[in-house]
Amino acid sequence: MRITYDREADAAYIYLTDARLAPGRDTIDVEVPDDATCEVFLDWKDGRLVGIEILDARDAIHQDLLDQAEDIADG
């Protein structure tokens, strides 16, 4: 598992596989609690959950996890 975080976009991505993924994933938006201020998407490939994207991540993820994420804001 690997976590990336784009500080400029405030978007985190949790990779649930180390395999390289070809294009063509199915993305499903997830309903979040009414008091949540984020958007969450699940990525599926070949019937398997391969990743989770979180927008407005600072509001949704504990800071200690964001501190451990690979910062991809600069590319």
pLDDT value at residue 75: 57
Rounded average pLDDT over 21-48: 91
User: Residue 6: is its pLDDT beyond 70?
Assistant: yes
Q: What are phi and psi of 30, to 5 degrees?
A: -105, 135
**What would the pLDDT profile of 38-68 be if each residue is shown by its tens digit?**
999 999 998 999 999 999 999 999 999 999 9
Rounded average pLDDT over 29-36: 93
Provide CB contacts within 8 A for 55, sequence distance 6+: 9, 10, 11, 38, 39, 40, 41
Confidence (pTM): 0.88
pLDDT value at residue 22: 76
